[in-house]
Amino acid sequence: MKQLFVIRHAKSSWDIAGQSDFERPLNERGHRDAPQMAGRLFKSGTRLDALVSSPANRALTTAQYFAEAFDFKKKDIITVDRLYHASAETFYDVIAGELKDKWDSVAIFSHNPGITYFANSLGVVQMDNMPTCGIIGVKADIKSWADFAKAGKEFLLIDYPKKIS
């Protein structure tokens, strides 16, 4: 059994004129929401074996908050360049090609619009727009991540900062 948690980066800042999209940081709300959401996922009883992130500043910073909550070292976050502006197909390629089978539970951090398309492709939720710092969790009865794309997925959770429990 494998579990995948798909996490959109927290709210980013547009305050610095001319700053590249890749370098955009989190804004104040993002710095508040990311640790809160990491704590909520941890308190749900979820355990993670790996954190895999786009190397863009806002996604990696979000992943670092999750690393702190789950007692990972920041240097243990795996960055995958292809997760920056990834299509749904790219997510499946990264899962099949980058995730180690010894990992049973993985969080992937990335960006819109690809993350919304990917989340919808999982067949457990349908949404127009995955919220910033939103989390969707699924599980698949597989032994290898290479089998994830074709496997049936079962809904685990959906959470986002403005969700009322």
70-129 pLDDT tens trace: 999 999 999 999 999 999 999 999 999 999 999 999 999 999 999 999 999 999 999 999
What residue spans define the domains of the chain?
Answer: 2-11+23-159
Please state, in angstroms and as integers, the Cα–Cα distance from residue 121 to each residue in 3, 97, 150, following that order.
Answer: 16, 18, 11
Torsion of the alpha carbons at 145, 64, 40 and 88, rounded to the nearest 10 = -40
pLDDT band at 25 (very low <50, low <70, confident <90, very high): very high
**Residues 160, 13, 114, 164, Cα dihedral to 10°:** 10
* pLDDT-based confidence at residue 56 (cuts at 50, 70, 90): very high
Architecture, CATH, for domain 2-11+23-159: 3-Layer(aba) Sandwich (3.40)
Q: Region 45-54: what's the mean pLDDT?
A: 98
Provide the token pair at 99.
Answer: 């995730």
Residue 14 — very low, low, confident or very high, per pLDDT cuts 50/70/90? confident
Give residue-wise pLDDT tens across range 117-153. 999 999 999 999 999 999 999 999 999 999 999 999 9
3-class secondary structure, 71 = coil
DSSP state of 44: T
